[in-house]
Amino acid sequence: MIDPRSFLIAMPEIEVAFAGLFLLVVAAVCGKRETQRIGILAIATFMLAIVTMFSGKRLGLMFDGLLPAYAFGNQFVDDGFARFAKAIVLGASGLSILLSWDYFKKEGQERPEYPVLILFATLGMMLMISAGNLLALYVGIELQSLSLYVLAAFNRDQERSSEAGLKYFILGALSSGIMLYGISLIYGFAGTTDFESLMSSLRGAAPAPRGVVVGMVFVCAGLAFKLAGVPFHMWAPDVFEGAPTPVTAFFASAPKIAALALFTRFLLYPMYSLMNDWRQVIVFISVASMAWGAFAGLMQSNLKRLLAYSAIANAGTLLIGLIIGNSAGIQALLIYFVIYALGTLGAFGVILCLRRNGKPVEELIDLSGLSKKYPLVALAMAVLVFSLAGLPPLAGFFGKYFIFLAAVQAELVPLAIIGVLTSVVAAFYYIRIVKVMYFDEPLHTLDPLPDWGVRTVVGLTSVAVVILAFAPSPLVDSALNAAKGFII
């Protein structure tokens, strides 16, 4: 018998799920005409979910933010950390819908499935973030991934888009298989898939069963794939380049955050006592991602590929927060999530502003002279990439600062030094974007700017990045509270 409270705890997810099903039917009935309206409804759903999440306590639906609440026999965990991460994921998903209208209309690919798929992907991510069981983890990931495979191939008439979808699918399926194998190993050796019992049984058993360790490494590999951490990053540049730009914006933001939140949950909760075993794996992935993301990005001429490498490098930096493995690290991670998501979504918004003769262009040189043609867009892009590069006085600096602060505090100084040095290398390609926009003369004319959706996203994110630099306190404090709620 399911405790009725479980439904209350999972209320935001239930809302998103029902909205998804409902909008799917609406989409089937109304067809193409109502794409924008369905998108607005999807965004409203995300807002509703956020409101439910944070007002739940007041309405008596949910429990105190500091204590974790369990639902459906521990399958589902709700705590401050999960809510914070979910809020970012929901926000990022909403913004990716805003980004999509203009692009798909101009490409003649306007289809109502887009917001519906985003809804389901987001539902998957919310389940990932709240997973309290290896099976819930797997179900969440698969729901997310299947939606993402379809989204990558959304421009189905385009070769590149289909190729991206196929590539992502094959590699993604492989990684899911590896992860599932890892899960089965853990189950076989520990006798349970529940996070809570895994934690207590692993804490008691020293040393941990070899099979559990191997299984854990397999799961890590699968999660690192979702996160596009080196050496599991191969798909990212190709998929980022091939997928339609609004989809790429979505890929670079929400799923990364969900994957990392799940990574954090998995490693710091059931696998906490194996820290010495997983730390070396994650350190390797982190350092390799930072270095490869920084150096390989230098060679890119395609903006979407460039941002793919930027995402890889940022994933490496984010993993430092995970390696730290205490609440300071989690807090830094959550702050970085927000700032990274803002920077990435905004930067893709700017790419969506670039069209020539009705065709989207996405090469670095297409930005040339943007500061003359659209000074405000160029300014927004400059602010966003400087923030991504982590340069003061923009918000990105505080993201990096808190990560490195926590790292030095945890005596991970070498990691912090590698982090700052690679960030200098990466700064090279970020400032190259600024260079092209401001120093070079315009090569071609650009089409008029897209509709209000894209402009809103670009404006919102760039202003947020500046405001957060002056008043980071609310973000820092709420991340602190969220991190306190995480069970360690």
Q: Are strands 355-356 and 359-360 parallel, antiparallel or unpaired?
A: antiparallel
* CB atoms closer than 10 angstroms to residue 75: 22
Contact 360, 245 (CB under 8 A): yes
Residue 236 φ/ψ, nearest 5 degrees: -60, -55
Which residue pairs, CB below 8 angstroms and at least 24 apart, start in 233-239? 233/289, 233/292, 233/293, 233/312, 234/171, 235/167, 235/168, 235/171, 235/172, 236/308, 236/311, 236/312, 237/300, 237/305, 237/308, 237/309, 238/163, 238/164, 238/167, 239/152, 239/164, 239/167, 239/168, 239/308
Residue 434 within binding range of another protein, rule CB under 8 A = yes
Q: How far is the CB of 282 from another protein (least distance, A)?
A: 21
CB of 471 to another protein, least distance (A): 9
Interacting residues with another protein between 447 and 476 (CB under 8 A):
472-473, 476
* Residue 487 engages another protein in binding (rule: CB under 8 A): no
Distance in Å, CB of 414 to another protein, minimum:
10
Using the minimum distance from each CB to another protein, give the nearer residue, 172 or 321. 321
Range in contact with another protein (rule: CB under 8 A) among 30-38, 57-65, 267-275, 418-426: 418-426
Which residue lies nearer to another protein by CB, 166 or 431? 431
CB burial of residue 407 (10 Å; 0-12, 13-18, 19+):
buried
Binder among 111, 160, 373, 435 for another protein (CB under 8 A): 435
Q: How far apart are CA 393 and CA 397, in angstroms?
A: 7
Q: x/- string (CB under 8 A) for another protein, residues 381-400?
A: -----x----xxx---x---
Residue 31 backbone class (left: φ over 0; alpha: ψ -120 to 50; beta: rest) = left
Q: Quick check: 61 binds another protein (CB under 8 A)?
A: no
408 touches another protein (CB under 8 A): yes
Residue 155, helix vs strand vs coil: coil
- Taking CB under 8 A as the criterion, the residue among 70, 251, 336, 438 binding another protein is 438
The minimum distance between CB 50 and another protein, in angstroms, equals 23
Are the C-beta atoms of residues 86 and 77 closer than 8 Å to each other?
Answer: no
Question: Is 421 one of the binding residues for another protein (CB under 8 A)?
Answer: yes
Contact residue for another protein among 277, 428, 442, 460 (CB under 8 A): 428
Rounded to an integer, what is the distance from CA 56 to the centroid of its chain? 25
Of 163 and 440, the one with the shorter C-beta distance to another protein is: 440
**Nearer to another protein by C-beta: 326 or 409?**
409
Smallest distance from the beta carbon of 393 to another protein, in angstroms? 4
Interacting residues with another protein (CB under 8 A): 371, 375, 386, 391-393, 397, 401-402, 404-405, 408-409, 413, 416-417, 420-421, 423-424, 427-428, 431, 434-435, 438-439, 472-473, 476-477, 480
